[in-house]
Amino acid sequence: MDAPPSFDEPFRPQFHYTPPRHWMNDPNGLVYHEGTYHLFHQYNPAANTWGHMSWYHATSPDLVHWTHRGVAIPEEGNEMIFSGSAVVDHGNTAGFGSQRGDSPMVAVYTSNYRLPGDAINQAQSLAYSTDGGATWTKYAGNPVLDHPDAEFRDPNVFWYAPGQKWVMAVALSEQRIIQFYESPDLKTWTHLSDFGPAGSTEGIWECPALLRVPMEDDAGCRRWVLSVDVGSGAVAGGSGSQYFVGTFDGIAFAPDASHLDDAPHWADYGPDFYAAIPWNNVPDPDGRALWLGWMNNWTYAEDIPTAPWRSAQTVPRTLSLRHRNDGLQLVQHPVAELERLRTNPVRLGERTLNDETVSLPKDSLSGRTLELRATLAPENAEAVGLHVRTGKNERTVVGYDATSDSVFVDRARSGAVGFQPDIAARNTAPLSPTDGRVTLHVLVDRSSVEVFANGGARVLTHRLFPGSASDGVALFAQGGTATLLSLDAWTLRSIWGNP
Ligand code: FRU
C-alpha cells in the first residue's frame, strides 16, 4: 500500500471533500442518521479514472469535517454499483432490522450488469446496514426493480409522509424521462407516473431528485423541486443540472407553467456542478433542504491535472426558493457550518474604482483558500468585480457585466487550462442589480471557485488549476466608474489539518 496522501498537494481542495486517492464521481446516498451526516460517492477503488464503480463512504458530524470510511458497497463479478440514494428505514418496513423499532439504513442503487457481448442492463437494488453505516449487506433478492429499457438508473428515494410510503424518482436516461414509483417496503415497487422530456433534452438525463424546498421568506411553506441532470448541452457546456418547480400529489409531478417553457432553469451556471442530490432525513425542527454536487464536468472529468485522486464535491449548500416575476427561483447558500473555518477577518470599506484594476497588498488580503463577500455598485462601469488566485500571468475573474446584465466567471487565464481547450472560457448567468447593487459571495479553494451572486440567486461553480504562488486578490472596474461598497474576507482553515 502506498503511503497515505498528504492532503497538501498543490490542487488538493482544503475545505471541499475529496477521497484520499483514486477516481470519484457523483455523490450517492446522502443521509443523516443519529448525529452523523453520511456521504457516499461513486468511486473506482483501482484507478484515477472511471471504472469498477463502487460506493465509497465518508461521515461528518457537521457537514464540514469528513472522515474517510472506505468502500461500503463494492463492485462484484459482472455488477458495478452505480448512483443512488440512502434512507433511514424508521419503521423497519423492509424488515432488514432485527426487530420492530430498529432503524436500518438502506441504500437504493443501480446495479449495472455487464451482459455477454457489449450489452448492459441497469436495474435498481438494495443494500442495508444495521450498525449505523459501518458495514453493508447486499439484499439477496436484488434487483428489486427492472425495466425493459437498459438505460434505467440513479434511483432517488424518500419517505412520502402524506401517503405513508416510499417514493422513487429514477431516470430512463436515453428517453429523457423521469419515472416515479411507490413502495410500502422498499422491495416491491409500483409505477406511478412519468415526467419528461422537458427543459434541456439535448443530453441524456441522469441523477434525478425530487425534494421539498422551503420558501426563502417563509420556511414553513415548501414547494416541490425536481432536479434533473443532463449529460451534455448544459448552460456552460458539457454536463449540468436543471430543475423544475411544481407540485407532487404522491403520484405525479406537475411543473408550474413558468417552469415548462423551453428555456431550462439551471441550478448552477458554471461548468462544474453535476449529479447533486439532497440529504435525506435531515433533522427537524430546521429540516433544511441540503445538497451537494460533483464538482467536475464529463467533458474533461478524466483529464483534470490532479493525482493521486481525481474530482471533488462542492460545499454542501442550503436550498430555498425566491419569488420572481417569472416564477420561483432556486436559491443556494454555502451551509452556515462552513463559517467555523473562518480565520483572519479582513474588512475593506467603501472605495471608488475608476476604470482600473487594484491589486490588494498581499499582507492585507491574499490566499489560496478564501471566503469573500463583496457588495458592489456598478454605476456607469461596463464591468466590476474581483480577481482571485492572481499571480504571474494568472487570474480568475469574477464580476458583474453591465453590458449583458450578468454575473460571470472567466477562467481563461486561471492557470493550467491546456488539458482541455474548452475550459479557457467565460461563463455567465443573467443577473440584475437590486437597488443599484450586486453582491458576490465567493469561495476560493486550491482548485475551485464557487460564486453565489445576489444572495444565492445565481451560482457558478468552476474548477481551476493555478500555480501555488497565485494567491493574490484584486478589485477592478472596467469602462467607467464603480464603487466597492464593502468587502468582508476570511481565510478558510483546512479541514485536513494543514497549516
Ligand atoms: C452520472 C452517472 C450516473 C451513473 C454514474 C456511474 O454522472 O453517469 O448516471 O449512475 O454516473 O458512475
Q: What is the CATH number of the domain that holds 163?
A: 2.115.10.20
Give the end of a domain, one of 313, 334, 355: 334
- Which of 42, 152, 297, 313 is the pocket-test mutation for ligand 1 (most atoms within 8 Å of CB)? 42
Q: Are residues 281 and 303 in the same domain?
A: yes
Same domain, 285 and 433: no
> Does a structural domain hold residue 170?
yes
Counting beta carbons within 10 angstroms of the beta carbon of residue 141, is it exposed (0 to 12), middle (13 to 18) or buried (19 or more)? exposed
> Which three three-digit cell numbers place residue 70?
472506505
pLDDT at 1: 54
Domain boundary among 291, 306, 334: 334
Burial 391-423 (b: 16+ CB within 10 A, else e): eeebbbbbbbbbeeebbbbbbebbbbbeeeeeb
Answer yes or no: do 316 and 419 share one domain.
no
Residue 11 falls inside a structural domain: no
- 357 and 475 assigned to the same domain: yes
Q: What angle do CA 338, 322, 206 make, to 5 degrees?
A: 75
Cis previous bond, 143, omega within 30: yes
From the list 26, 154, 272, 410, the catalytic residue is 26
Helix (H, G, I), strand (E, B) or coil at 258: helix
- CB of 206 sitting under 6 A from ligand 1: yes
Q: What is the DSSP string of 339-352?
A: GGGEEEEEEE--EE
300 and 443 inside one domain: no
Q: How many angstroms separate the CA atoms of 255 and 178, rounded?
A: 13
Same domain, 295 and 363: no
Q: How many domains does the chain have?
A: 2
Instruction: Choose one of 318, 334, 350: the last residue of a domain.
Output: 334
- Residue 424 CA from chain centroid, whole number: 22
d(C-alpha 29, C-alpha 318), whole Å: 17
The whole domain housing 38 covers 22-334
Are 405 and 290 part of one and the same domain?
no
Contact 237, 422 (CB under 8 A): yes
Is 185 tagged catalytic? no
Ligand 1 centroid from CA 358, angstroms: 43
In a domain? residue 498: no
Q: Are residues 347 and 330 in the same domain?
A: no
How many other CB atoms sit within 10 Å of the CB of residue 78?
Answer: 12
Task: Tell me the residue type at 416.
Answer: A
Residue 108, amino acid: V
In a domain, 17, yes or no: no
Whether 497 maps to a domain, the answer reads no
Q: Is the CB of 277 under 6 A from ligand 1?
A: no
CB 300 within 8 A of CB 420: yes
- Is the bond preceding residue 45 a cis peptide, omega within 30 degrees? no
pLDDT of residue 285: 64
Q: For residue range 40-98, list pLDDT tens digits in order.
A: 999 999 999 999 999 999 999 999 999 999 999 999 999 999 999 999 999 999 999 98
**From atom 8 of ligand 1, which residue's Cα is the shortest distance away?**
206
pLDDT digits (tens, 9 = 90+) for 354-392: 999 999 999 999 999 999 999 999 999 999 999 999 999
Is residue 320 helix, strand or coil?
strand
Q: Are 142 and 226 in a shared domain? A: yes
CA-nearest residue, atom 6 of ligand 1: 82
Which pLDDT does position 158 carry in this prediction? 98
Asked if residue 272 has its Cβ within 6 Å of ligand 1, the reply is no
- Ranges in the chain, pLDDT < 50: none
Q: Are residues 169 and 235 in the same domain?
A: yes
Q: Does one domain contain both 279 and 356?
A: no
Q: Is the shortest distance between the CB of 54 and ligand 1 below 6 Å?
A: no
CATH (domain of 362): 2.60.120.560
Q: In the predicted model, what is the mean pLDDT of the chain?
A: 96
- Ligand 1 centre distance from Cα of residue 206 (Å): 7
Question: Would residue 298 count as lying in a domain?
Answer: yes
